[in-house]
Amino acid sequence: MSSPLMDDGVAALRRGDASAARRVFESALAEVESGEAFEGLAEALYLEREYAAAADHYERAYAAYRRERQHMAAGRAARTVSWITGNVFGDWAVRIGWLARARAILTEAGEDSPEHGWVLIIRAFLEPDAQAREAFLREAIAIGRRFGDPDIEFYALSYLGGVLVMTDRVEEGLVLTDEALAAACAGELAEVATVDSIFCGFFWTCELVNDVPRADQWMRAAAELMQRRNVVAAFCRAHYGGILTAAGRWDEAEVQLLESTRHFDRGMPERRAASLIRLADLRVRQGRLEESAMLLDGLDDHPDAVRTLAALYLARGEAALAQDLLERCTAGSDDGVPTVGESTMVGPLLALLVDVYLEADNVDAAERIAQRLARIAEAQRGPYLKAAAALAKGQVCVARGQGDARSCLHSALESFALAQLPMELAQTRLEMARALAASSPQVAIAAAKAALEDFERLKAARHADVAAALLRSLGAPVRTGPKGHGALTKRETEVLQLVGVGLSNPEIGDRLFITRKTVEHHVGNVLAKLGLRNRAEAVAYVTREKTSR
């Protein structure tokens, strides 16, 4: 095996030419089998989305490196097998097994070696105590710097950033993640799993804390790199879509989530739930409940789907199902504060459970959960949970007809504005209108009108209807009819455009994630509203519209 041949393969990988790299490493393996050639071919297969073949060749690289007595390289191959089996295939037991192999092999090199940095990172991954995890990662960062290994340094730095975020040191943690991302974009990192882990962790964290500006900036900065990283493209777009949904940028969110789904479908369809759940959440917010239910079909037991599924149940009037699901998933002591990271997960579920109990007129249960949420928010101190707790308390005050609902709701408005969550902000304005309906009807009307305008701007049809009904009950005039361009709804316009390019009803259903029956309904509405007799006339109509622009 010639060194220039291997250099050519590595160069092809670095410029993102997976096809050329694959040919080079296959030629190298035809001459002689080596860990380096197996690993190079494995990375090329990974970039071509042949994940099963990539995992197989990383396993072969691991075995070859073991024969060659290269501890660091064998550990790297084992860690990458762990990444693919866990993050791509979702086989977490297999992931843990390969991590254990990597740790055992790397430990053989001793503590005064760069390998010990990876041992510490693996220990941190398996360590439940946050303080111990942080200590392992800080030591790993120091080792990476001492031995000049940027993969160790920045993997540990990114991981530490996530730990700090989950222990309420959000800005400090995100600054560390920013540095790791800069190193990845600058090409300082060699390992594919390191780069992907850093990016996936960053967007997951931004979604968790609703940091839209930060996510936007890195999406632009890393655009070129993301074109060459397939797992990054799929998972990061899913998380980014979730961020945009929370930020009220729903058209942009839909683009990202549909693109994420297509990425998953091309290489790892078994993991597409990451984008489907977030798209279902968007559909619930939009009031498109049938589509949301379709997207969640088969995901009833997925832990990430709990909140969206419960919200769907509540929106469909199935409060008992929502209550059962949320009670099971938030079971625990009302006096206890969740451990590190858990409050970020359980807090939103408790906020929704308050809504469920109030829908069932169970004010006592709603108050108990609101108090539990307040204790969590006090410990977490993030703007979202603080706002959610204030809103829950205000809702209970309104339901009881006693207490300082106005003060609570003002606090919620301030915190939701700080968190940049327009949907929740509008819902709080609506609750404020209910709170003031009897004592200050003019102020209540103003709050309800502001909520209605917010919901219409977001295109949250179901919530806009609720706001309009409240305004009518207060004796205020409400504009009727659709708002926007022409007589067609946004969905009908989407269907018309797809009819115009010749798609059949089943193809339109697949593209928009709606049933064939729903497509037929939309097509019928489009033809009736535009005075068209058939699909051929619809195609001609779209063509004329494009020509006239």
pLDDT (tens digit, 9 = 90+) per residue, 258-268?
988 887 887 67
Residues 6+ apart with CB under 8 A from 36: 6, 61, 73
Better-predicted residue by pLDDT, 275 or 549: 275
Q: State the pLDDT confidence band at 336, using cuts at 50, 70 and 90.
A: low
Quick one: average pLDDT of 12-24?
Answer: 90
Better-predicted residue by pLDDT, 42 or 196: 42
Quick one: average pLDDT of 14-37?
Answer: 92
Same domain assignment for residues 343 and 400: yes
Residue 482 has pLDDT above 70, yes or no: no
- Inside any domain, residue 181: no
For residues 462 and 285, give the distance between their C-alpha atoms in angstroms, rounded to a whole number: 8
For the chain, the average pLDDT equals: 88
Same domain assignment for residues 343 and 393: yes
Least-confidence region, from 208-212, 272-276, 337-341: 337-341
Same domain assignment for residues 342 and 406: yes
Count how many Cα atoms sit within 13 Å of the Cα of residue 81 in the half-sphere of its side chain: 27
User: How far, CA to CA in Å, does 157 sit from each of 60, 83, 207?
Assistant: 30, 18, 19
For residues 198 and 161, give the distance between their C-alpha atoms in angstroms, rounded to a whole number: 10
Q: State the pLDDT confidence band at 339, using cuts at 50, 70 and 90.
A: very low
Q: Report pLDDT for 193.
A: 85
Same domain assignment for residues 340 and 403: yes
Same domain assignment for residues 344 and 388: yes
Quick one: average pLDDT of 454-463?
Answer: 89
Same domain assignment for residues 503 and 537: yes
Q: Which of 358, 376, 411 is the last residue of a domain?
A: 411
Q: Report pLDDT for 481.
A: 43
- Inside any domain, residue 7: no
Q: Residue 514 corresponds to which amino acid?
A: I
The pTM of the full predicted model, rounded to 2 decimals, is: 0.74
Alpha-helix residue ranges (DSSP H) falling in 85-149: 92-107, 115-126, 130-146
For residues 549 and 133, give the distance between their C-alpha atoms in angstroms, rounded to a whole number: 59
Number of domains in the chain: 3
For residues 22 and 317, give the distance between their C-alpha atoms in angstroms, rounded to a whole number: 55
Q: Report pLDDT for 381.
A: 55
Q: Report pLDDT for 216.
A: 84
For residues 504 and 511, give the distance between their C-alpha atoms in angstroms, rounded to a whole number: 11
- Inside any domain, residue 193: no
Q: Report pLDDT for 480.
A: 46
Task: List the domain range (segments joined by +) for residue 390.
Answer: 330-411
Distance between the two ends of the chain, CA-based, in angstroms? 61
Same domain assignment for residues 529 and 498: yes
Least-confidence region, from 171-185, 222-236, 281-295, 529-543: 222-236
Quick one: average pLDDT of 111-115?
Answer: 94
Q: Which of 454, 477, 500 is the last residue of a domain?
A: 477
Give the helix/strand (H/E) hosting 191: none
For residues 399 and 491, give the distance between their C-alpha atoms in angstroms, rounded to a whole number: 36
Q: Report pLDDT for 230.
A: 54
Q: Report pLDDT for 200.
A: 86
Same domain assignment for residues 407 and 344: yes
Same domain assignment for residues 404 and 427: no
For residue 308, how many other CB atoms are within 10 A of its CB? 25
Helices then strands, each counted (H, E), the chain = 31, 0
Better-predicted residue by pLDDT, 490 or 70: 70
Joined tokens for residue 87: 């993050």
Residue 5 has pLDDT above 50, yes or no: yes
DSSP state of 90: -
Tokens 């860990």 locate to 35
Residue percentage of the chain with pLDDT more than 70: 93
- Inside any domain, residue 462: yes
Q: 3-class DSSP state for residue 215?
A: helix
Q: Report pLDDT for 124.
A: 95
Query: 3-state SS string over 260-319?
Result: HHHHHHHHCHHHCHHHHHHHHHHHHHHCCHHHHHHHHCCCCCCHHHHHHHHHHHHHCCCH
Quick one: average pLDDT of 338-355?
Answer: 75
For residues 193 and 186, give the distance between their C-alpha atoms in angstroms, rounded to a whole number: 16
Burial of 324 (0-12, 13-18, 19+ CB in 10 A): middle
Joined tokens for residue 390: 């204030």
Q: State the pLDDT confidence band at 547, using cuts at 50, 70 and 90.
A: low
Residue 526, domain CATH: 1.10.10.10
Longest dimension (CA), the chain: 86
Q: Report pLDDT for 483.
A: 43
Joined tokens for residue 231: 């797992």
Q: Report pLDDT for 335.
A: 57
Q: State the pLDDT confidence band at 385, using cuts at 50, 70 and 90.
A: confident
Angle at 109 between CA 104 and CA 111, to 5 degrees: 95
For residues 321 and 327, give the distance between their C-alpha atoms in angstroms, rounded to a whole number: 10
Quick one: average pLDDT of 356-384?
Answer: 89
